[in-house]
Structure 1
Amino acid sequence: MLYAVVDIETTGNGYKGQKITEISALIFDGKKIVDEFTSLVNPEQNIPTFITNLTGITNAMVRNAPKFYEVAKKIEEITKGTIFVAHNVNFDYNIIQAEFKSLGYDFKRKKLCTVRLTRKIIPGLPSYSLGNICSGENIPINGRHRAKGDAEATVELFRRLLERDDNFTINSFLNPRSRQATLPPLLDKIVVDKLPETFGVYYFKNLAKEVIYVGKANNIKQRVISHFYDKKKKEQTMCLETADVSFTKTGSELLALLLESSEIKHIYPKFNRAQRRAGEAVGLFSYEDQKGIIHLAYNRLKLAPNAIMKYYSVAECRTHLESLCAEFELCPKYCHLQTNVSSCFHYQLKECKGICCDKETVENYNVRVREAIKSVGIGAENLVIKEKGRIKNEVGFALILDGIYKGIGYLDASQDEVLKTPEEYQFFVAPKKDNRDVQRIIASYLKKKEKLKALENGEISI
Structure 2
Amino acid sequence: MKEQLFAVIDVETTGGGINGNRLTEICVVLLRGSKIVDKFTSLINPEKEIPRHITGLTGIDNAMVADAPKFHEVAKKIEEITRDAIFVAHNVNFDYNVLRNEFKELGFDYTRRKLCTVRLARKLMPGLFSYSLGRLCDSINIPISNRHRAEGDTDATVILFQRLLSLDDDYKVINSFLHVRSRQATLPPHLDAEEIHSLPESPGIYLFKDRQQKVIYAGKAIDIKKRVISHFYDRMSKEYELGQETYSIDYETTGNELMALLLEAECIRKYYPKFNRAQKRPGPVFQIVSYTNQRGILQLAIEKTSKRRKSIGTFYSRSLAQEKLEYLCREFKLCPKYCSLQANVEQCRHYEIVSCEGICTGEEEIESYNNKVTAAIGSLTEESSTFVIREKGRHYEEEAFILVKAGKYSGYGFIDADTAISGPDDLEPFLKPQPATYHTNKILSNYMRKQGKPNVVFFKTSEEASEFKPEVRTRKNARIMATHGTLSLFE
TM-score, reference length from structure 2: 0.78
**Would the alpha carbon gap of residues 90 and 332 (structure 1) be closer, same or farther in structure 2, given more than 3 Å must change?**
farther
Q: Which residue of 2 aligns with 1:154?
A: 157
1:119 maps to which residue? 122
1:294 to 255, 276, 300: 300
When structure 1 is superposed on structure 2, of 281-290 and 7-16 the one drifting more is 281-290
Aligned pairs for 1:190-205 (under 5 A) are: 190-205=194-209
1:260 counterpart residue number: 264
Aligned to 2:275: 271
Aligned residue for 1:387? 391
Q: Which residue matches 1:420?
A: 422
1:37-436 correspondence runs (5 A):
37-165=40-168, 168-277=172-281, 284-287=287-290, 289=292, 290-297=296-303, 301=307, 304-306=309-311, 308-309=313-314, 320-321=317-318, 324=321, 344=343, 358-360=348-350, 379-415=383-419, 418-436=420-438
Deviation at 1:420, TM superposition (A): 2.2
Q: Specify the alignment match of 2:462 in structure 1.
A: none
* Alpha-carbon offset, residue 437 of structure 1: 0.8
Q: Is the CA contact (8 Å cut-off) linking 1:23 and 1:40 kept in structure 2?
A: yes
- 1:125 Cα deviation after fit: 1.4
Cα distance in 1, alignment partners of residues 391 and 67 from structure 2 = 65
2:35 aligned partner: 32
Whole-angstrom distance in 1 between the partners of 2:306 and 2:188: 45
Instruction: Report the Cα distance in structure 2 between the residues aligned to 1:261 and 1:156, rounded to whole angstroms.
Output: 47
Q: Out of 50-59 and 325-334, give the one that drifted further.
A: 325-334
CA distance in 2, matches of 1:38, 1:107: 19
Contact 1:285 1:305 in 2 (8 A): no
Q: Assess if the C-alpha contact under 8 Å between 2:290 and 2:312 holds in 1.
A: no
The more displaced of 146-155 and 444-453 is 444-453
Match of 2:15 in 1: 12
Matched residues in 2 for 1:266 and 1:445: separation? 23
SS in 1 for 2:451: helix
Distance 2:429 2:131 in 1: 48
Mapped contact 1:401–1:423 kept (Cα < 8 A): no
How far 1:306 moved relative to its partner? Answer: 4.0
* One-letter amino acid of the structure 1 residue matched with residue 72 of structure 2: Y
With over 3 angstroms needed to count, the CA separation of the structure-2 counterparts of 1:102 and 1:334, relative to structure 1, is: farther
Determine if contact 2:9/2:154 at 8 Å carries over to the other structure.
Answer: yes
Measure, in 2, the Cα distance between the counterparts of 1:61 and 1:373. 73
Taking a change above 3 Å as real, the CA distance of residues 431 and 169 of structure 1, as seen in their structure-2 partners, is: same
| 3-state SS of 1:17 partner | coil
**Structure 1 residue 379 displacement after superposition:** 4.8
Q: Is the radius of gyration larger for structure 1 or structure 2?
A: 2
Rounded Cα–Cα distance in structure 1 between residues aligned with 2:138 and 2:202: 43
Number of residue pairs matched by the alignment: 424
Report the residue type matching 1:426 in the other structure.
Answer: E
Structure 1 residue 301, shift from structure 2 partner: 4.5
Supply the AA of the counterpart residue of 1:293.
Q
Deviation, 1:273, is: 2.6
Give distance in 1, aligned partners of 2:44 and 2:216: 35
Separation in 2 of the partners of 1:323 and 1:300?
A: 17
Q: Distance in 2 between matches of 1:400 and 1:438?
A: 11
Q: What's the % identity of the aligned pairs?
A: 48
Asked if the contact 2:186/2:233 (under 8 Å) is kept, the reply is yes
1:404 Cα deviation after fit: 0.3
Q: Which of the two has greater helix per residue?
A: 1
Kept in 2: contact 1:285–1:307 (CA 8 A): yes
Distance in 2 between residues matched to 1:423 and 1:123, nearest whole Å: 52
Which residue in 2 is equivalent to 1:21? 24
Which has the higher mean CA deviation after the structures are superposed, 39-48 or 441-450? 441-450
Aligned residues of 1:83 and 1:112 also touching (Cα < 8 A): yes
Using the TM superposition, give the Cα deviation of residue 207 of structure 1 relative to its aligned residue in structure 2, in angstroms: 2.0
One-letter amino acid of the structure 2 residue matched with residue 113 of structure 1: C
Give the TM-score normalised by structure 1. 0.83
Unaligned runs of 5+ in 1: 311-316, 338-342, 348-354, 457-462
Change beyond 3 A, Cα 1:58–1:136: same
Q: Distance in 1 between matches of 2:61 and 2:286?
A: 54
Q: By how many angstroms is 1:38 displaced?
A: 1.3
Report the CA distance between 1:93 and its aligned residue: 0.5
The 8 Å contact of residues 10 and 19 in structure 1, kept in 2 or not, is answered as yes
Q: Is the 8 A contact 1:377 1:440 kept in 2?
A: no
Which ranges in structure 2 are unaligned for 5 or more consecutive residues?
Answer: 330-334, 358-368, 456-475, 477-491
Contact 1:399–1:426, Cα closer than 8 Å, also in 2: no
Deviation, 1:401, is: 1.1
Q: 1:333 to 1:37 in 2, by over 3 A?
A: farther
Q: Write out per-residue CA displacement over residues 125-163 of structure 1, whole angstroms, 9 at most, x where no aligned residue.
A: 111111111122222223211111111110000000111
